[in-house]
Amino acid sequence: MHAKDEARTEGSPEIVVVGAGLVGAVAAVYLAPRFGPVTILEKRADPRRGAGGQGRSLTVMLSARGWRVLSDLGLAEAVREICVPLHGRCAHLPDGSSHVTPYSRDGQPIWSVERERLHHILLDAAEATVGVRLRFGQRVHSVDLDEPAVLVEDRHGRQRLTCRRVLGCDGAHSAARAALAARGAQAEVRNLELAYQEIDVPGGWLDRRTMHYWPTGDALFAAFPMPSGEFSGSLFMRREGPAPSYATVEGQDLLKVFAAGFPEPTAAIPDLAEQLATRSVSSLMVVRCDRWVWRDTFALLGDSCHAMAPFMGHGMNCGFEDARTLIACLDSTEDWTAALAAYEKSRTEDADAISYLSYQHYYIMANPPQEETAHAKGVLRKRLVDLFPDRFVPLYEQCAFTEESYASVLRNDQRLDRLVESLLGRYGAELVTASDSRLRACTPPLTPNTVTLEDSGCS
């Protein structure tokens, strides 16, 4: 037995998971059957006993990566029952028109699920997994990477709990991450310039097969259908800076700004004034960390290492994928040091990519779409994607319906950008409106990795 193991307290868990959020629960269900007793330490009270409400979106979108994990854990069927399928996003434009963009070219939906009910299913699954112990009201103060151990506080006081490994799944404000930072990891933790308020939206006036959004350029209102028939809405605006921003408009002014930008929702939400005046304004945190693991004892997963803007709907899906990747790395070798290093290597670039894409997506959504597509680059891009469906998969579709690494999705997208730029450079803007046959002839017989205009048979 290793000296480190002798020092462990009698009956101490093999693995401590810090945080019983969506990702912590999933990680524990994966880990316990393979590696022995797992204790989850959660600072809050059990949300299943009526202690919910973390002040975040009521709904979250599940895509293929999330479903893959739920299937692995035998939970897909239970979750599917509480989901609403969404086939696209419907933009309600300032000129009164609306425009639906399907999420996929073959009609596949993504799925809107109530965060709280999903969380309950995951906690129930963790509790039902042999070897998992859930402990609520346990705030972890610090992690000792060497022993390893966690310093945890509950209503009886502080206690040091030794174990063999620690997984930090404690979200954007992670206490576990501080242990890595103390060993030189560079962590960037910041608020985005945007903030949001949750607004309940009655049903009955919006198509439930899509999410809906109202872009004004300065602000965005989005509404997602819930199984209850109502919609969960979010008003996104700058936190500070020139009006309209949460710092500059409040009270009646906020109602006026909302009514001016979003007349349809204003007419449909009877208690809008009260909701705007009383609902808290939440910040959006972004976390980037250059190290996720420590030797064979410690790893970060989920928002603790990659909290991101919510506009692609991938924070949780990416966190679930972290857990699945970690397990795949651990299944492939008994050497935890090698497995954790492989996990970190495989995830950091992906997390950076989806985080970048998620932030960019706000500006795509917040600006009325015709402004974007009126641009030659945007139109040509779309035409290429439509003309060569086997070669180019729309970015959103790659993220939502495939398990292709996010980093490779981003690289594919940048390649398409470069192709569009070189085509415009060589043939000019007339190519945007050229016939399909001319556009085909001008486009080189590229594989996704090779874009050389010299190959094209067009002049």
The type of residue at 80 is R
Q: Does 21 bind ligand FAD (CB under 6 A)?
A: yes
Taking the complex as a whole, the smallest distance from the CB of residue 106 to ligand FAD amounts, in Å, to 21
SS3 label, residue 139: strand
Taking the complex as a whole, the smallest distance from the CB of residue 359 to ligand FAD amounts, in Å, to 13
Nearest CB to ligand FAD, comparing residues 115 and 381: 115
Distance CA 293, CA 322 (A): 12
Give the closest residue to 174 by CA, choosing from 287, 325, 317. 287
Beta bridge partners of 88: 102, 210
Stretch 293-352 residues interacting with ligand FAD (CB under 6 A): 302-303, 310, 313-317, 319
Q: Hunting for tokens 């556009």 — which residue is that?
A: 439
Nearest CB to ligand FAD, comparing residues 139 and 415: 139
Taking the complex as a whole, the smallest distance from the CB of residue 64 to ligand FAD amounts, in Å, to 12
Give the closest residue to 396 by CA, choosing from 430, 369, 358, 355. 358
Taking the complex as a whole, the smallest distance from the CB of residue 168 to ligand FAD amounts, in Å, to 9
Span of 57-65, 88-96, 364-372, 404-412 interacting with ligand FAD by CB under 6 A: 57-65
Binding mask 150-169 for ligand FAD (x = CB under 6 A): -------------------x
| Among 8, 17, 37, 43, contact with ligand FAD (rule: CB under 6 A) | 43
Nearest CB to ligand FAD, comparing residues 303 and 413: 303
Could you give the strand order of the β-sheet that contains 139-144, starting from the edge strand earlier in sequence? 139-144, 149-154, 157-162
The type of residue at 442 is C
Contact of 302 with 343, CB cutoff 8 Å: no
Distance CA 302, CA 27 (A): 10
| Among 31, 90, 140, 161, contact with ligand FAD (rule: CB under 6 A) | 140
Distance CA 39, CA 171 (A): 17
Contact of 28 with 130, CB cutoff 8 Å: no
Q: Does 19 bind ligand FAD (CB under 6 A)?
A: yes
Distance CA 86, CA 111 (A): 6
Stretch 59-78 residues interacting with ligand FAD (CB under 6 A): 60-61
Q: Does 57 bind ligand FAD (CB under 6 A)?
A: yes
Interface ranges with ligand FAD (CB under 6 A): 18-24, 41-44, 56-57, 60-61, 139-140, 169-171, 175, 302-303, 310, 313-317, 319
